[in-house]
Amino acid sequence: MAPPLTPLKTPAQRSPHPFLPTCRADLDARGWDAVDIVIVSGDAYVDHPAFGPVLIARFLEGRGFRVGLIAQPQWQSAEPFKALGKPRLFFGVAAGNLDSMLNRLTSQKKNRSEDQYSPGGRTGCRPDRATIVYANRCREAFPDVPIVLGGIEASLRRIAHYDYWSDTVRRSILLDAKADLLVFGMGERPVWEIARRLKAGEAIKQLRDVRGTAFLINDEEMKRHEADPARRAADRKTVVLPSFEQVSTDKAAFARMSRDFQLETNPGNARPLAQRHGSRGVYFNPPAQPLEDGEGSGGDSVAMDELYDLPFNRAVHPSLGAEGVPAFETVKHSVVLMRGCFGGCSFCSITEHEGRVIQSRSEASVLREIRAVRRQGDFRGTITDLGGPTANMYKLSCRSEAIESKCRKLSCVHPGVCENLVTDHGPLIHLMQRVREEEGVKHVFIASGVRYDLAERSPEYVKELAAHHTGGQLSVAPEHVSPRVLEKMKKPGIESYERFQHMFACASQDAGKEQYDIPYFISGHPGSTLEDMVELALWLKKNGRRPRQVQDFIPTPMSMAAAMYFTGLDPMTMEPVFTARGLKEKRLQKALLLYWNPEHWEDAREALQQAGRDDLIGRGPGALVPPASGERARGRPAPRP
């Protein structure tokens, strides 16, 4: 259990910018009788823009609101949620930077050994389904204070969804949390509108038109949306999703729900959604508009630069002592250039949460942050990452806003790079060069994953990457080699990766550097059979690859791949999709990725036998794994003792 945060008592403990208030003593030190908003977070308090709840808190503070933070509260009673008194406007509740179930459990449903977002990496600092637990405790603490859910856990559980850890379909988190509003996606625009309208005197139940929010409606309202079923869905102002009851019992209905939801995610043309849950419904406004690039246009705009110019201390709250927070150690000397991803990979939740439109910072903003990082006492000249969700999508966009606003494609790069996508890496290359020139900066590395089907279109970018921004190893994610599986993943063919691999190797050689790309792969993804994994293992052996970090597929809430996993159907085509459902099936697929590791030989042998590939068990050059001790190698006599 994380200890409660204590006030900062001495000037020496204070940083250049006061930390957000965390207790009554902090309010007294500021001369405040109360706060406007209390943000409750499942993560430890790290004052850094990479921590979502803190970013929202600082953003609201920057817009003139008095904001306090309750981080990793003890949840067994409502008392810790009263630490800052009764907020004037609302509680904002988030589980933290990760879904709380994903944060605790592995793909094999075993407890993780570390919580990256807790002091010292300790586990047990937050409850399962933290958003629900925290919201209910806030309601107990102050029954009449509005509760607004946010963060990735709420965002990705806003509709009826498949929950891998319980192997059930769960209803919208809004009902279980008993909250007033749910903010989905990146929350700056909607949460600011909520705050200022509540401050102006509107009641929380009046806030029904805020983009990027969801709320409960009664039976009569839901019936009005369901009326006139003969009308085509395309003619409806509001798209009615199959009900919770339908998707809980009918997998085809669940697949249709996933498809209909995905087609309404472009802020330029998305229609409202409604979904029945028993005698009530959940109504979803269209997604919030993306933030403006750079400095924005002033006035009521919200721009990317503003977020990173906020007064972050870039430090762990001093009351947490010297333990540190592992996730902070990863990002403390890194810089985010943009948000959003138009890749649309079916297993990834970035697009569902951050959106498909790339929102980029200006060069000036990035350089200001570099200088702030440089002033940190432990900075030794190395920027550990210059990237974002994807390293090389900075400033990339559709060639036409009119086309972009009407497009309903789920990916700009699948099945091929869209002809309307501008793939010019020039602005990114220029920024990389500018950062390298900054005083005190010795190394600038790219640790974010590189989208190789875009990178191969820019030889100059690959040269810059190899010559100046790779510390011996570069992360790329081909994920698989089977065309059938890659199609379900919405990833490019392995040929694209191989072309990039050759380009990077040549560029590294030209730069006089010995360095390598490190590919990441996924086992157990929908569409992947044991035969497909054998194909991948043979490709790895042929290319001399021994991946040490592989991902056993986890169906995260609301992703297209999770819908395939649960239903056995591709939501876009309604065609059957094979899925490894059992934990042992998943383990056997992963063993084939790690065929070279003796710890996995037993499972790999079983997987090969089930796939009918006993010929790959032996001691010859073409074998993947040796025979079990005491067995004869295939086609060879047992060795003499």
Q: How far apart are the first and last CA of the chain?
A: 55
18-33 pLDDT, tens digit each: 999 999 999 999 999 9
What is the per-residue pLDDT for 231?
54
- Sketch the domain layout of the chain as residue ranges: 11-209, 213-287, 333-503, 515-641
Burial category of 152 from C-beta neighbours within 10 Å (exposed 0-12, middle 13-18, buried 19 and up): buried
Strands 397-398 and 385-387 turn out to be: unpaired
- Report phi then psi at 396, rounded to 5: -80, 140
3-state secondary structure 130-156: HHHHHHHHHHHHCCCCCEEECHHHHHC
**Contact indicator for 98, 51 with CB cutoff of 8 Å:** no
The CATH number of 333-503 is which of 3.30.750.210, 3.40.50.300, 3.40.47.10, 3.40.50.620?
3.30.750.210
Specify the amino acid at residue 130: A
In degrees to the nearest 10, what's the CA dihedral of 432, 434, 439, 444? 0
CATH of domain 11-209: 3.40.50.280
Helix extents (H) in 345-493: 350-354, 363-374, 401-406, 426-437, 452-455, 459-468, 483-489
| pLDDT for res 233 | 55
Whether the Cβ atoms of residue 236 and residue 228 lie closer than 8 Å to each other: no
**Residues, the chain:** 641
d(CA 113, CA 106): 10
The reply to whether omega before 415 is within 30° of 0 (cis) is yes
Contact 498, 452 (CB under 8 A): no
CA–CA distance, 531 with 613 (Å, rounded to integer):
9
Indicate the pairing of strand 37-41 with strand 90-94.
parallel
pLDDT < 70 regions, the chain: 1-16, 228-236, 297-299, 630-641
| Cα 598-602-603 angle, rounded to 5 deg | 110
Report the pLDDT value the prediction gives residue 321, as an integer from 0 to 100: 80
Which residues does residue 504 pair with via DSSP β-bridges, in sequence order?
none
pLDDT at res. 19: 95
Residues 476, 450: Cα–Cα separation, whole Å: 5
The structure tokens listed for 200 are: 């102006």
Q: 384: closest CA among 335, 429, 327?
A: 335
Give the integer Cα–Cα distance in Å for 302 and 520.
36
pLDDT tens string 434-480: 999 999 999 999 999 999 999 999 999 999 999 999 988 998 999 99
The single-letter DSSP state of residue 414 is S
pLDDT at 16: 60
Task: Return the DSSP state at 117.
Answer: T
pLDDT at 11: 30
Question: CB-based contacts of 322: which residues, under 8 Å, 6+ apart?
Answer: none
Q: Would you tell me the crossing angle of helices 52-62 and 188-199 to the nearest 10 degrees?
A: 40
DSSP 65: -
